[in-house]
């Protein structure tokens, strides 16, 4: 089986980038993947233009004729689907809410375009059981390596509620902070925000994880 896999952040630090990397690794020898990412296709490294430029460069490329499936891992790139190929879309986030936060009113025509394009998919999967049920999509949990989880040692100070997300309005840090405060108030459980640096409180610590396994606070 030959699969054209489209994911701009393949192998990167993003959740979808790691998800597709593990997908390719686990299916190695069973599926032949052709990967379109920013490393293989390219993009313009300017705010608000990264996804658009990557998508545009993908559009001008020819879909490999031997591809059995086009597997896109972002609804923003659903316009790459073709009627003469089997098309699979995996949705990793709430693209409607994210685009509105990022672009405001300018997001309305973008969302309308994406909504029209995802209809071309033969199958839509999502990492969210809530969205799967609401939209009649197939729920496929986000991929993680269980062996890596087993290596994690308990924190010496006890359990924490962990929030992982980049410093971006899309990740809605204020919403997590309110949750963390209530969890501490009613259950006495402290939280850690990994990915943003803010002033620490009694109930919430902030950390950034570096490649050399060092913590900054």
The pLDDT value recorded for residue 195 is 85
Over range 99-105, report the average pLDDT.
Answer: 86
Task: Check residue 59 and give its pLDDT.
Answer: 95
200, 175: one domain? yes
User: Tokens for 146?
Assistant: 């269980």
Residues 75 and 169 in one domain: no
The domain in which residue 40 lies consists of 2-139
Residue 146 lies in a domain: no
Furthest CA-CA distance within the chain: 59
CB 15 within 8 A of CB 78: no
**Residue 115 and residue 20 share a domain:** yes
Q: How far is CA 89 from CA 67, 141, 146, 152, 182, in A?
A: 15, 14, 25, 32, 36
pLDDT single digits (tens) 152-177: 777 676 778 888 888 888 888 999 99
Residue 150: pLDDT band with limits 50, 70, 90: confident
My answer on whether 184 and 111 are in the same domain is no
Instruction: Identify whether residues 48 and 80 lie together within a single domain.
Output: yes
Indicate if 63 and 165 belong to the same structural domain. Answer: no
Is a pLDDT exceeding 70 seen at residue 103? Answer: yes
Torsion of CA 30, 32, 36, 40, to 10 degrees: 110
| pLDDT band at residue 209 using 50, 70 and 90 as cut-offs | low
Do 27 and 123 belong together in one domain? yes
| Domain finish residue from 107, 139, 171 | 139
What domain count does the chain have? 2
The SS3 of residue 204 is: strand
* Range in 6-20, 89-103, 179-193, 198-212 the model is least confident about: 198-212
* Assigned domain for 81 exists: yes
Mean predicted confidence (pLDDT) in 58-86? 94
Confidence of residue 213 (pLDDT cuts 50, 70, 90): very low
Query: Does the pLDDT at position 80 exceed 60?
Result: yes
Q: What is the pLDDT of residues 120-147, one digit of tens each?
A: 999 999 988 998 999 999 999 887 778 8
**In this structure, is residue 108 part of a structural domain?**
yes
At 24-57, the pLDDT tens digits run 999 999 999 999 999 999 999 987 788 899 999 9
Q: What is the H or E stretch that residue 194 is in?
A: strand 190-194
Window from 17-21, 33-37, 183-187, 213-217 with minimum mean pLDDT: 213-217
Do 114 and 211 sit in the same domain of this protein? no
6 domain-assigned: yes
Percent of the chain with pLDDT over 70: 95
What predicted TM-score, i.e. pTM, was given to this entire model?
Answer: 0.81
Given 83, 104, 139, the domain boundary residue is: 139
Q: Which of 97, 116, 139 is the last residue of a domain?
A: 139
In sequence order, the 6+-apart residues with CB closer than 8 A to the CB of 64 are 2, 4, 34
State residue 212's pLDDT score: 44
Q: How far apart, in whole angstroms, are the C-alpha atoms of residue 37 and residue 24? A: 13
Does residue 160 sit in the same domain as residue 206? yes
């Amino acid at each position: 089986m030959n699969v054209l896999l489209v994911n701009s952040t393949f192998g990167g630090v993003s959740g979808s980038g790691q998800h597709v990397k593990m997908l390719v690794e686990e299916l190695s020898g069973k599926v032949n993947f052709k990967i379109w990412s920013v490393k293989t296709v390219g993009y313009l490294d300017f705010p608000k233009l990264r996804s658009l430029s990557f998508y545009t460069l993908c559009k001008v490329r020819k879909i490999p004729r031997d591809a059995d499936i086009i597997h896109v891992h972002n609804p923003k790139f659903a316009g790459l689907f073709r009627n003469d190929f089997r098309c699979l879309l995996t949705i990793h986030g709430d693209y409607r809410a994210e685009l509105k936060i990022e672009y405001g009113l300018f997001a309305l025509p973008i969302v309308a375009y994406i909504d029209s394009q995802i209809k071309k998919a033969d199958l839509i999967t999502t990492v969210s059981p809530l969205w799967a049920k609401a939209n009649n999509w197939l729920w496929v949990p986000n991929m993680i390596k269980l062996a890596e989880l087993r290596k994690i040692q308990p924190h010496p100070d006890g359990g924490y509620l962990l929030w992982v997300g980049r410093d971006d309005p899309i990740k809605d840090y204020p919403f997590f902070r309110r949750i963390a405060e209530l969890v501490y108030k009613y259950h006495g459980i402290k939280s850690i925000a990994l990915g943003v640096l803010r002033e620490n409180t009694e109930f919430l610590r902030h950390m950034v994880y570096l490649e050399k396994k060092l913590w900054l606070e």
